[in-house]
Amino acid sequence: MLMLMLIFTACSSSKEKLNEQIAKTEKEISQQYDTVKMRQLVELYQEYVQEFPKDSLSGEYLFRSGSLNMTLGKGADASPRPDFFQEVRGRGVRRLRR
Protein backbone atom coordinates (compact mmCIF):
# COMPACT_ATOMS: atom_id res chain seq x y z
CA MET A 1 0.00 0.00 0.00
CA LEU A 2 2.81 2.38 0.90
CA MET A 3 4.53 1.64 -2.41
CA LEU A 4 1.38 2.53 -4.36
CA MET A 5 1.06 5.79 -2.45
CA LEU A 6 4.68 6.66 -3.22
CA ILE A 7 4.23 5.93 -6.92
CA PHE A 8 1.01 7.97 -7.06
CA THR A 9 2.68 10.86 -5.23
CA ALA A 10 5.67 10.77 -7.59
CA CYS A 11 3.40 10.83 -10.66
CA SER A 12 1.27 13.64 -9.25
CA SER A 13 4.37 15.57 -8.31
CA SER A 14 5.80 15.16 -11.81
CA LYS A 15 2.52 16.24 -13.40
CA GLU A 16 2.23 19.25 -11.10
CA LYS A 17 5.80 20.35 -11.79
CA LEU A 18 5.27 20.11 -15.53
CA ASN A 19 1.99 22.05 -15.28
CA GLU A 20 3.77 24.73 -13.24
CA GLN A 21 6.52 24.99 -15.88
CA ILE A 22 3.89 25.27 -18.61
CA ALA A 23 1.97 27.98 -16.75
CA LYS A 24 5.16 29.94 -16.06
CA THR A 25 6.30 29.78 -19.69
CA GLU A 26 2.82 30.72 -20.96
CA LYS A 27 2.86 33.76 -18.68
CA GLU A 28 6.33 34.80 -19.90
CA ILE A 29 5.19 34.55 -23.53
CA SER A 30 2.06 36.57 -22.83
CA GLN A 31 4.23 39.35 -21.44
CA GLN A 32 6.84 39.32 -24.20
CA TYR A 33 6.87 37.72 -27.65
CA ASP A 34 9.82 35.33 -27.56
CA THR A 35 10.25 32.56 -30.13
CA VAL A 36 12.82 30.73 -28.00
CA LYS A 37 10.31 30.54 -25.13
CA MET A 38 7.61 29.48 -27.62
CA ARG A 39 9.77 26.57 -28.76
CA GLN A 40 10.38 25.62 -25.12
CA LEU A 41 6.64 25.72 -24.48
CA VAL A 42 5.98 23.45 -27.46
CA GLU A 43 8.47 20.97 -25.99
CA LEU A 44 6.78 21.19 -22.57
CA TYR A 45 3.36 20.59 -24.13
CA GLN A 46 4.67 17.61 -26.06
CA GLU A 47 6.40 16.21 -22.98
CA TYR A 48 3.14 16.44 -21.03
CA VAL A 49 1.19 14.72 -23.79
CA GLN A 50 3.78 11.93 -24.02
CA GLU A 51 3.95 11.43 -20.24
CA PHE A 52 0.20 11.68 -19.59
CA PRO A 53 -1.59 10.71 -22.82
CA LYS A 54 -4.88 9.85 -21.10
CA ASP A 55 -5.06 13.04 -19.03
CA SER A 56 -7.84 15.45 -19.99
CA LEU A 57 -5.30 18.29 -20.48
CA SER A 58 -3.40 16.34 -23.12
CA GLY A 59 -5.88 17.26 -25.86
CA GLU A 60 -5.71 20.94 -24.97
CA TYR A 61 -1.91 20.90 -24.81
CA LEU A 62 -1.74 19.06 -28.12
CA PHE A 63 -3.91 21.77 -29.69
CA ARG A 64 -1.79 24.55 -28.18
CA SER A 65 1.39 22.85 -29.36
CA GLY A 66 0.05 22.72 -32.91
CA SER A 67 -1.05 26.34 -32.75
CA LEU A 68 2.36 27.50 -31.57
CA ASN A 69 4.09 25.43 -34.24
CA MET A 70 1.94 27.15 -36.86
CA THR A 71 2.86 30.55 -35.36
CA LEU A 72 6.54 29.60 -35.52
CA GLY A 73 6.23 28.61 -39.19
CA LYS A 74 6.64 24.92 -38.42
CA GLY A 75 3.38 23.74 -39.89
CA ALA A 76 4.71 20.26 -40.61
CA ASP A 77 5.36 19.83 -36.89
CA ALA A 78 1.87 21.06 -35.97
CA SER A 79 0.14 17.72 -36.42
CA PRO A 80 1.02 14.70 -34.28
CA ARG A 81 2.07 11.36 -35.66
CA PRO A 82 -0.87 9.55 -37.35
CA ASP A 83 -1.52 7.05 -34.55
CA PHE A 84 -1.43 9.57 -31.73
CA PHE A 85 -5.18 10.17 -31.43
CA GLN A 86 -5.70 6.43 -31.00
CA GLU A 87 -3.51 6.57 -27.88
CA VAL A 88 -4.91 9.74 -26.30
CA ARG A 89 -8.26 9.03 -24.70
CA GLY A 90 -8.65 12.10 -22.45
CA ARG A 91 -11.74 14.29 -22.45
CA GLY A 92 -9.71 17.11 -23.99
CA VAL A 93 -9.31 15.22 -27.25
CA ARG A 94 -13.04 14.48 -27.49
CA ARG A 95 -13.72 18.21 -27.08
CA LEU A 96 -11.39 18.96 -29.98
CA ARG A 97 -13.17 16.56 -32.30
CA ARG A 98 -16.58 18.27 -31.97
Tell me what the mean pLDDT of segment 17-26 comes to: 96
> Is-contact 59 91, C-beta < 8 A?
yes
Q: Choose from 47-56, 66-75, 86-95 the range with maximum mean pLDDT.
A: 47-56
pLDDT for residue 19 is more than 80: yes
Q: Which residue has the higher pLDDT, 70 or 91?
A: 70
**pLDDT at res. 36:** 95
Rounded Cα distance between 9 and 85, Å, is: 27
Name, in order, each residue with C-beta under 8 angstroms of 54's C-beta and a sequence gap of 6 or more: 88, 89, 90
* Domain boundary assignment for the chain: 17-97
